[in-house]
């Protein structure tokens, strides 16, 4: 089996479930569960191992790859792979940290038993050779993703991270936090949930699902989310994200888990992508509307 080559597609671009139309597939965005799935896969492949080689095939991503990137990280050991919102963080020797955001179409391919990083794939922009047999390939057809490098002491103040809100799976994320975050916010609750300055990592799919679970209309004004409403919403967000992570995220395009299996949380969607289908709670048809240029799916009967 020494020559067996297993290509694990660890993507953070969502796959489309069978019921989604093409236009929904194109608008699907990566969210916290998918990025967390990628993080866990990269952690298994990279932690405790050296970056033996780095090949930058193309540096003109959304933010250009630093000119000295390859020389700066080559030979350093990977201590930990972390995540902040939708950003991957790879902690290295010498207090250095690689930041990765995969944009809309980006993915990390874990190539086990690789003979090296010199065999470039289509749309492959950066390749990390881990040890002497694992290649981590950053592939991004649209080039909306990015790779940057900073130091640990400047990580929290990095321009991409400094304004991010609270992580929703922390103990601090609660009804009290939501009440404070939404105070005097005269915007719809759906817009507030998608604002990364308020809730880090939450996106369109899981916002729709969490609002259904909490019986809140996506049209409802954010400043009205207090008391029991805030309590239900905080609990629903954590419930939806936790379940999605446990199922490997939502497979909307080509995301697979470290063992090569697809994520399957999309099979549990209550409203997202189900316009016209009966609500699982009241049997009335799920409706779709456009908010902030994004599709919102909801049950007008259950969500008030």
Our answer to whether residue 120 is catalytic in this structure is no
Our answer to whether residue 294 is catalytic in this structure is yes
Alpha-carbon Rg for the chain in angstroms: 20
CB-based contacts of 260, cutoff 8 Å, min separation 6: 6, 8
DSSP-based three-state secondary structure for 231: helix
Pair 79, 50: CB distance under 8 Å: no
CB-based contacts of 149, cutoff 8 Å, min separation 6: 66, 69, 72, 73, 96, 97, 98, 99
Report the C-alpha gap between 6 and 56 in whole angstroms: 23
Our answer to whether residue 86 is catalytic in this structure is yes
Half-sphere exposure of 183 (CA within 13 A, CB side): 6
Q: Which of the following is catalytic: 31, 34, 36, 209?
A: 31
Q: Which of the following is catalytic: 49, 179, 220, 294?
A: 294
260: left (phi over 0), alpha (psi -120 to 50) or beta: left
- Whole-angstrom CA distances from 44 to 41, 51, 92, 123 are 5, 14, 15, 24
Report the C-alpha gap between 129 and 167 in whole angstroms: 31
Q: Which of the following is catalytic: 86, 107, 137, 232?
A: 86
DSSP-based three-state secondary structure for 55: strand
Report the C-alpha gap between 12 and 36 in whole angstroms: 9
CB-based contacts of 182, cutoff 8 Å, min separation 6: 189, 192, 198, 222, 223, 225, 230
Report the C-alpha gap between 155 and 132 in whole angstroms: 29
Q: Which of the following is catalytic: 17, 30, 168, 218?
A: 30
Our answer to whether residue 31 is catalytic in this structure is yes
DSSP state of 285: B
* Residues carrying an active site annotation: 30-31, 86, 294
């Amino acid at each position: 089996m020494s020559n067996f080559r297993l290509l694990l597609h660890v993507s953070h671009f969502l796959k489309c479930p069978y019921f989604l139309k093409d236009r929904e597939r194109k608008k699907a965005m990566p969210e916290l569960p998918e990025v967390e799935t990628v993080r866990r896969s990269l952690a298994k492949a990279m932690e405790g191992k050296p970056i033996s080689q780095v090949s930058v095939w193309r540096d003109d991503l959304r933010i250009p790859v630093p000119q000295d990137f390859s020389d700066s990280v080559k030979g350093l050991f990977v201590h930990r792979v972390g995540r902040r919102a939708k950003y991957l963080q790879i902690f290295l020797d010498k207090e250095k940290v690689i930041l990765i955001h995969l944009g809309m179409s980006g993915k990390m391919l874990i190539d086990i038993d690789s003979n090296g990083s010199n065999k470039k794939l289509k749309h492959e922009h950066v390749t990390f050779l881990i040890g002497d047999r694992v290649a981590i390939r950053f592939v991004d057809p649209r080039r909306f993703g990015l790779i940057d490098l900073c130091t640990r002491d400047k990580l929290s103040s990095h321009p991409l991270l400094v304004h991010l809100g609270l992580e929703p799976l922390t103990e601090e994320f609660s009804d009290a936090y939501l009440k404070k975050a939404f105070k005097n916010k005269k915007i719809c609750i759906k817009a507030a949930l998608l604002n990364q300055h308020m809730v880090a990592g939450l996106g369109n799919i899981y916002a729709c699902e969490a609002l259904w679970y909490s019986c809140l209309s996506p049209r409802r004004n954010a400043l009205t989310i207090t008391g029991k409403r805030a309590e239900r919403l905080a609990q629903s967000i954590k419930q939806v994200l936790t379940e999605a992570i446990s199922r490997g995220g939502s497979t909307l395009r080509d995301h697979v888990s470290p063992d090569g299996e697809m994520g399957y949380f999309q099979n549990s969607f209550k409203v997202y992508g189900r316009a016209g289908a009966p609500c699982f709670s009241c049997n009335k048809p799920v409706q779709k509307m456009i908010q902030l240029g994004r599709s919102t799916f909801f049950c007008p009967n259950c969500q008030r």
